[in-house]
Chains A and B, each alone.
Chain A
Amino acid sequence: MAVITYLEAIRQALFDEMARDERVFVIGEDIGAYGGAFKVTEGLLEKYGEQRVVDTPISEAAIVGSAIGASYMGLRPVCEVQFIDFIACCFDMLTNFAATSRYRNGAGVPLVVRGPCGGGVNGGPFHSLNAESFFLNTPGLKMVEPSTAYDAKGLLKAAIRDDDPVLYFEHKYLYRRIKDEVPEEDYVVPIGKAALRREGRDLSIITFGAMVYTALDAATELARDGVEAEVLDLRSLAPLDREAVLATVAKTSRALVLHEATRTGGIGGELAAIIADEGFEHLDAPVVRVASADTPVPYAPQLEAAFLPNVGKVVAAAKRVMEY
């Protein structure tokens, strides 16, 4: 098995799916000759031509709107939003049009919107967003965010084959930093299934995306003090793997919810509510959230470091839970 980067895994999934299914095409800004802002789509134009690698004007509403129309014609569009922050520009198309289409008239919209999310690269307020909570309250959409190269490939394949609109968040901090073994043969990672990244008996850290690595580092540090943390990587944000969430809480009786988006109204609140509703009797301590500060994403390295969750913040919160 080849060891490849998270970014290469995404690209492989695009190449594979376009080869496997002639209905799949990619559409977005600067994705053709330039190969995309992060070079994810590099080489696709040469192999598949302008018909299936569609460079667009700077028009996110037209990208997603025309993808909806094309999906009605039996195609499977994969839209690239150059930075996930720009998904706000097609919010209406996704929430009002795509997400409601099947419910309204049985007209499925099998499209994928993928784009780089996340901070830690000093991208400032408009190139660092984590957008999942904007969409969590929209029935009809699915959302995934891989943390490994293996999942990046398998989840994108699953998203492209899914008959509903899927938002695929790829964390830009992981693009070239994460490498792991990825099979060349076909496989999918099913949407809606979390993965246990570390087993532990004392505390569950429930997280996803780049924060999986923060959680693992925090777990290593906690282990030095004799606290064994379990790390659950959600992988899918809609639908959530409620069974896996409740299973780990039943096992450890303590839950720490960790995400990179800002705290208020974040997915952590939903996870805490699920645990409170359905797992209350398992709990020995309150559920705590570790998330980014409730501010726009700041630019200066000193400010962004203060804004983002980190190992120290996770360890401190975990200790509060353990000492409760």
Chain B
Amino acid sequence: MSKPSEWLTDNQLLEMYYFARLAREIEERLVILFRQSKVVGGLYRSLGQEGESVASAYALKRTDAILPLIRNMGALTTMGVRPREIFRQYMAKGTSNSRGRDLNIHIVNLPGDGANEPVIVGPISMLGDSVPVAAGIAIGARMRGRDLVAMAWIGDGATSTGPFHEGLNFAAVQKAPLVVVVEDNKYAYSTPIAKQMAITRIDERAASYGIPHDLVDGNDMLAVYDAAKRMVDRARAGEGASLLGVDTMRLQGHAQHDDARYVPGAMLEEWTKKDPLPRFRQTLIEKGTVKNKQLDDIDRVAKELAAKEADLAVDDPPPDPVTLTRGVYAGDDFAVPRLEFMASPFRS
């Protein structure tokens, strides 16, 4: 059986690299804004996980649904969310998708059927809750006759919550068009995986639910894409839910305040060598049809775009306190700005 990734064109492979690089550059820019006290509250990075976030989302159609966690910036860049939206959110601007009411990538986009946009439901801080909600999106879309696959990402910590298990089991019973990506990123805040679960393969979380599951090297973007694409195709064909485990590592603390001193130095060093971005670069160069210059150009374009988009957001106004009580219930006409999308330079 040929691998789905063998069908990817050079243009698509470069685009994947671009989305991953853009995710990293957005976060690098957020670090600067954080140090300038322009980011309100915490900054939760996905350093080291950009590859799996992009490669799994790349298996979706543009009109599918994503339920990313805080460490899936790459899923947002892949679905075309304009970086300015991320900066607005992190800086609690009145122009942001949540109008300053909620933080980091807690954004929502609910286009009607037929719109050329993804459904996006950002997480709430009880991260396991995304799984039953994703199951409902998948089942609801099917009830409405809408061609949609839902993909939800969950860290190893959230796989220990009740809603994760309830949602996965219900999705399995309902044969919902859902793919759940579970990220073994080695730590949930400071808790190592060995204190989180007594299994060594995180994808075995799915074993009792009777759905297909697989574990892949999460820092190998093509391996993630291949496994995700098969699961997405299966879901779209009406064959039900699957779970994809990705073996990766969070290369920084839980958030900027956390120096992650509980992580053994040798482990961090080992995983830093496996950084998915240089690794994917190497893969593309070894392929022979992609040149270093093309990749350097992408690095530069992504960095410039992140800086430009941050500049566009930084002077946006904060929310007006007179709006405090608006929009708790329906009927008071408190409009939400529509989430902006941006075409990638690799798509015409």
Q: Do the two shown chains form a genuine complex with each other?
A: yes
A197 and B324 alpha carbons, distance in the complex (Å):
37
**Contact stretch, chosen from A58-66, A122-130, A271-279, A314-322:** A58-66
Q: Is the CB of B110 within 8 A of A65?
A: no
Q: Which of A56, A102, A139, A163 contacts B170 (CB 8 A)?
A: A56
**Contact stretch, chosen from B41-49, B55-63, B159-167, B214-222:** B159-167
Q: Is the CB of B140 within 8 A of A62?
A: no
Q: Which residues of A contact B180 (CB under 8 A)?
A: none
Interface of A is mostly: helix
Given A104-B108, A140-B329, check contact A65 B143 (CB 8 Å).
no
A319 and B148 alpha carbons, distance in the complex (Å):
64
Q: Is the CB of B166 within 8 A of A70?
A: no
Q: Which residues of B contact A93 (CB under 8 A)?
A: 129, 132, 163
Q: Which residues of A contact B140 (CB under 8 A)?
A: 66, 69-75
Q: How large is the interface on B (under 10, 10 to 19, 20 to 34, 35 or more residues)?
A: 35 or more
Quote the shortest CB–CB distance from A257 to chain B (angstroms).
25
Quote the shortest CB–CB distance from A48 to chain B (angstroms).
12
User: B81 at the A/B interface (Cβ < 8 Å)?
Assistant: no
User: B98 at the A/B interface (Cβ < 8 Å)?
Assistant: yes
Quote the shortest CB–CB distance from B281 to chain A (angstroms).
36
Q: Is the CB of B143 within 8 A of A75?
A: yes
Q: Is the CB of B328 within 8 A of A103?
A: yes
User: A295 at the A/B interface (Cβ < 8 Å)?
Assistant: no
Quote the shortest CB–CB distance from B252 to chain A (angstroms).
26
Quote the shortest CB–CB distance from A312 to chain B (angstroms).
40
Contact with B along A82-113 (1 / 0, CB 8 A): 00000000001100110011111111100000
A56 and B106 alpha carbons, distance in the complex (Å):
29
Q: Is the CB of B133 within 8 A of A61?
A: no
Interface residues of A (CB under 8 A from B): 25, 51-52, 54, 56-57, 59-62, 64-75, 77, 92-93, 96-97, 100-108, 139-140, 142, 162-164
14 CB < 8 A contacts A-B: A51-B143, A57-B166, A61-B162, A62-B163, A65-B135, A66-B139, A66-B140, A66-B170, A70-B143, A96-B129, A102-B328, A104-B98, A106-B108, A164-B329
In the A-B complex, the 4 residue pairs with the smallest Cβ-Cβ separation, listed nearest first, are A69-B136, A65-B132, A106-B336, A66-B136
Interface residues of B (CB under 8 A from A): 97-98, 101-102, 106-108, 110, 112, 119, 121-122, 124-126, 129, 131-141, 143-144, 146, 150, 162-163, 166-167, 169-170, 173-174, 327-331, 334-336
Given A62-B167, A65-B131, 9 more contacts at CB 8 Å?
A61-B163, A62-B135, A65-B133, A66-B167, A70-B137, A73-B119, A74-B112, A106-B335, A142-B329
